[in-house]
Amino acid sequence: MFELLAYFWDYEKPAHHPSLRSALSHPIPAGEFVLAFLGNPLTFGTSLPPLPLGVGIGGLLVVVLLICAVYLWNKRNDRSLLGEGLPWLMLAMVAVSSAVLTMIGRLGFGPAQVRASRYTTFAVMLPIALLALVPMVRSHWTRSFSARGQLKTKAASFLLLGPFILLACPSFLSDSPIWPVIRQMRLYGKALVSFINVVPEPEALARRVFPYNGRVKSAANALNRIGYLHPPLLQSNLVRNVADPASRGSTRFGELQFHEEKSGEIALGGQAFLLDKQGPADAVLITYDNAEGEPVICAIVSLEVPRKPRLRAAWDPSALPSRWGRILPIDRLPEGQQCLLKAWSYDAEACRAYRLEGSATVTR
């Protein structure tokens, strides 16, 4: 309850969001939304309709949670049991309160909202909590049972757990190929944020990080000031601040290919690798040499996203695509100057760049 009150204190609803009172006028869809939210982590990887399946699983999880909660309340004089059970009960309530909060703000957008991946990390706390609560309650309840009775209750517990295991396995297998792809996309976002003060990429930031570029920049700088960002934000667009001193351009890190120049645009592409990670680069930095011969970063390029992620990529990063391409506007380069373009394979975690083989000369 305190979490709900704290969340809505001085809350201002965005103009394009549906009314927060939708749940009051549509109680049944509101209840289904909450149950589908809680059951959603176990609905992936099957051919069953995900929303009805989520409602069913969520309902079963809530029933089990209520049984555990009522048992703990009835045995509240047992301080040992209460001390062991309350932390797990609180974890379960984080999932439930998150489901209620999301329902209040998103019910008007439709039940498909519960499928968003950002909610899974909250909903999964309920089955995790029940994995601890159910054995705890069963063990306490059956202390006075005979050996045969305890064996029967154990068997019943495993039968109850069986459907969840069967649903968790396909969910795990269906999502495994996506994890490395998501990680690569997040590291590209990290690269964009690292250079946000010196190499603006507003369209990429809106697409990969957050739709409001100004808020990203202000938040990133605020977090950087308190030492939260690692590595810290870069304050120069000169590549020497991140370039590996021993990197002189090698096919081991990939290549830069100049495709064509037309109507104020330059088509570049190639491949980019990171030897330490044994896989594709997190991003590609495009540079031009300034009047002093210093490479200046003018663009941050993402690598290709696979259309059909492969399971092998879950343990072998080299299975991810290493190709990249970018249509570079000519106005990114200084006017009236012949520019030597280079490309660098960038490691967003180590904040280190390695030059690719090849270059291109362009005059604006």
Q: pLDDT for 320-357, tens place per residue? A: 888 999 998 888 888 878 889 999 999 999 999 999 99
Residues 102-111 have a mean pLDDT of 83
Helix (H) or strand (E) holding 84: helix 79-106
Kindly tell me if the per-residue pLDDT of 234 is higher than 90.
Answer: yes
Per-residue pLDDT tens for 269-300?
999 999 988 889 999 999 999 888 899 999 99
Pick one of 2.40.30.10, 3.40.50.620, 3.30.450.20, 2.60.40.10 as the CATH number of 181-363: 2.60.40.10
Rounded to 5 degrees, what are φ and ψ at 342? Answer: -135, 165
pLDDT digits (tens, 9 = 90+) for 78-96: 999 999 999 999 999 999 9
Q: In which band, very low, low, confident or very high, does the pLDDT at 26 lie, cut at 50, 70 and 90? A: confident
**Could you tell me what percent of the chain has a pLDDT over 70?**
94
pLDDT at 307 over 80: no
Residues 157, 165: contact at Cβ < 8 Å? no
Closest listed residue to residue 362, CA positions, set 239, 256, 241? 256
Q: What confidence score (pLDDT) does residue 186 get? A: 93
Q: Count CB atoms within 10 A of the CB of residue 271.
A: 23
Query: pLDDT at position 175, please?
Result: 74
pTM of the complete model beyond 0.85: no
Residues ≥6 apart with Cβ < 8 Å to 276? 347, 350
Name the segment(s) of the chain with CATH classification 2.60.40.10.
Answer: 181-363
Arithmetic mean of pLDDT over the chain: 87
What pLDDT score does 291 carry? 82
Whether 261 has a pLDDT exceeding 70, the answer reads yes
pLDDT at 4: 65
* Cβ(342)–Cβ(356) below 8 Å: yes
Sign of CA dihedral 247, 248, 253, 256: positive
Question: In terms of C-beta density within 10 A (0-12 exposed, 13-18 middle, 19 or more buried), how is residue 177 classed?
Answer: middle
What span, in angstroms and rounded, lies between the C-alpha atoms of 73 and 89? 11
Return the pLDDT at 87. Answer: 94
Residue predicted with more confidence, 306 or 206: 206
pLDDT at 13 over 70: no
Cα 116 from chain centre: 11
Give pLDDT, residue 1.
65
Alpha-carbon distance 324 to 307, whole Å? 14
Judged by DSSP in three states, 124 sits in coil
Of 62 and 10, which is predicted with more confidence? 62
